[in-house]
Amino acid sequence: MRYWLMKSEPSEYSIDDFARDGSTPWFGVRNYQARNFMRDQMKVGDKVLFYHSSCAEPGITGLAEVSVPAYPDASQFDRDGHYFDPKATPENPRWFNVEVRLVKRTRLMPLKEIRSYPELANMRILQRGNRLSITPVDPAEYAFILKKL
């Protein structure tokens, strides 16, 4: 089993939306490294920290898990959509997504708090220049965060 942190801007898809829907396809990722994480490494049952980014108070807002393995992201084929990719074809898709289901909503663990714990100092989300929407989380970091939530 692996552990992940998945970022979403609350103006696009918030913890409230996730709680309402229960599960969601993680579509629209247009970064090759994040795509490769979903396509090549994420498996059903992997644990996810749901994280609000690009907002007044970014931080972890929920726990989720991968519920459906990677499959081609349909948004790449929608000519009128924001995530259309003219180089993608159904025979040769470029972009993939997994589906995740909400396990539980948590208190907000703000980025400032995450930064305060020496045990979390190596988390990718804290590394300078990291802007990936999906990052791996070390099992010890995940366990530590669970205790604090």
Cβ proximity of 77 and 88 under 8 Å: yes
pLDDT score recorded for residue 140? 98
DSSP 68: E
pLDDT at 128 over 90: no
Average pLDDT over residues 74-99: 96
Q: Is 109 exposed, middle or buried (0-12, 13-18, 19+ CB in 10 A)?
A: middle
Q: Which domains does the chain show, CATH number per domain?
A: 3-148 (3.10.590.10)
Give the position of tokens 């539980």.
Answer: 104
Cβ proximity of 47 and 81 under 8 Å: no
* pLDDT tens digits, 20-34: 999 999 999 999 999
Across the chain, mean pLDDT equals 96
Longest CA–CA separation in the chain, Å: 47
pTM of the predicted protein model:
0.95
* pLDDT tens digits, 34-65: 999 999 999 999 999 999 999 999 999 999 99
pLDDT at 129 over 90: no
* pLDDT tens digits, 68-77: 999 999 999 9
